[in-house]
């Protein structure tokens, strides 16, 4: 296994309740060549003090640690700042509500070497509700054409080559919810090599996402797909297909609870 430098970026804002879990998951990695970058949006709840308190822990672990706390134009602007600061060959982005599986970075580097340095590696994600009940998302490999339908790749599991960002551009800050989808769709269109790793890579807290927020996300996904070349007819088909599937699932759930 080559000693690939992996840059990990965490974007935070007023994350005092959760950011320690994110930090501890980085400290639990056995892989030695990690650059860790925290982009904080000028938190005022004590998050900055936690970031400062972990600096020595990262240094003692041999992890290169950089951080800034300043106002930004949203989550994707903060991600772009981190990518511009990163010098690693591979970049992972894990937000301050989420955390990595233990020792996963070493496994990612092994996959990277085994598959001759693909542009994107992604895998399975555990999603936790407010009651800490989780579901695990998995997607079959080699069906990336389904990106036209929506976000089949979970962004918190992705490790992406720095050179791909340099080739196709960073996250489009005009999108407030789904710029990660726009990036991954552009990567697919530009024939990026994508490898699915059938392993839990990261864990994500679901912060009570409302139906309205989910619908807003679907609307943005529809606009992104059309912008990237999908016909309006097919975009509308995929949009209403999602709504129908969601309604059917709700009906099935109600029936199951009733009987």
HEC assignment per residue over 81-129? HHHHHCCCCEEEECCCCEEECCCHHHHHHHHHHHCCCCCEEEEEEEEEC
CA distance 151 to 227: 15
Average pLDDT estimate for 43-55: 96
The pTM assigned to this predicted structure is: 0.89
Domain assignment present for 221? no
CATH of residue 29: 3.90.550.10
Average pLDDT estimate for 229-233: 82
* Residues β-bridged to residue 135: 127
| Domain count across the chain | 1
Domain assignment present for 169? yes
Q: What is the percent of the chain with per-residue pLDDT over 90, rounded to a whole number?
A: 69
Domain assignment present for 232? no
Domain assignment present for 227? no
Domain assignment present for 225? no
Least confident of 58-67, 95-104, 157-166, 249-258: 249-258
Distinct helix (H) and strand (E) counts, the chain: 8, 9
CA distance 73 to 239: 28
Domain assignment present for 239? no
145 pLDDT higher than 60? yes
User: Cα dist. 122→74, 199, 208 in Å?
Assistant: 24, 9, 24
89 pLDDT higher than 60? yes
Domain assignment present for 183? yes
CA distance 239 to 150: 9
**Domain of 169?**
6-209
Domain assignment present for 91? yes
181 pLDDT higher than 50? yes
Q: How confident is the model at residue 130 (pLDDT cuts 50, 70, 90)?
A: confident
CA distance 206 to 32: 30
Residue 209: its pLDDT value, please? 39
Q: Give the residue, 31 or 210, on which the prediction is more confident.
A: 31
């Amino acid at each position: 296994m080559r000693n690939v430098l992996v840059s990990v970026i965490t974007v935070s804002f007023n994350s005092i309740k959760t950011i320690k879990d994110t930090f501890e998951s980085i400290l639990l990695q056995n892989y030695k060549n990690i650059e860790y970058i925290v982009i904080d949006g000028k938190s005022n709840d004590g998050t900055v003090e936690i970031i400062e308190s972990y600096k020595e822990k990262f240094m003692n672990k041999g992890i290169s640690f950089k951080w800034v706390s300043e106002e930004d134009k949203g989550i994707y602007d903060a991600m772009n700042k981190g990518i511009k600061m990163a010098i690693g060959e591979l970049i992972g982005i894990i937000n301050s509500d989420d955390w990595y599986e233990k020792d996963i970075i070493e496994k990612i580097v092994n996959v990277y070497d085994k598959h001759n340095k693909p542009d994107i590696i992604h895998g399975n994600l555990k999603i936790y509700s407010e009651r800490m009940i989780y579901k695990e998302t998995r997607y079959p490999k080699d069906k990336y054409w389904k990106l036209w339908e929506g976000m089949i790749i979970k962004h918190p599991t992705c490790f992406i080559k720095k050179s791909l960002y340099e080739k196709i551009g960073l996250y489009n800050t005009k999108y407030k919810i789904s710029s990660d989808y726009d990036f991954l769709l552009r990567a697919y269109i530009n024939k990026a090599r994508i490898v699915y790793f059938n392993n839990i890579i990261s864990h994500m807290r679901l912060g009570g996402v409302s139906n309205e927020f989910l619908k807003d996300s679907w609307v943005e996904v529809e606009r992104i797909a059309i912008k990237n070349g999908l016909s309006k007819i097919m975009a509308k088909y995929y949009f209403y297909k999602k709504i129908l599937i969601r309604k059917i699932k709700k009906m099935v759930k109600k029936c199951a609870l009733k009987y």
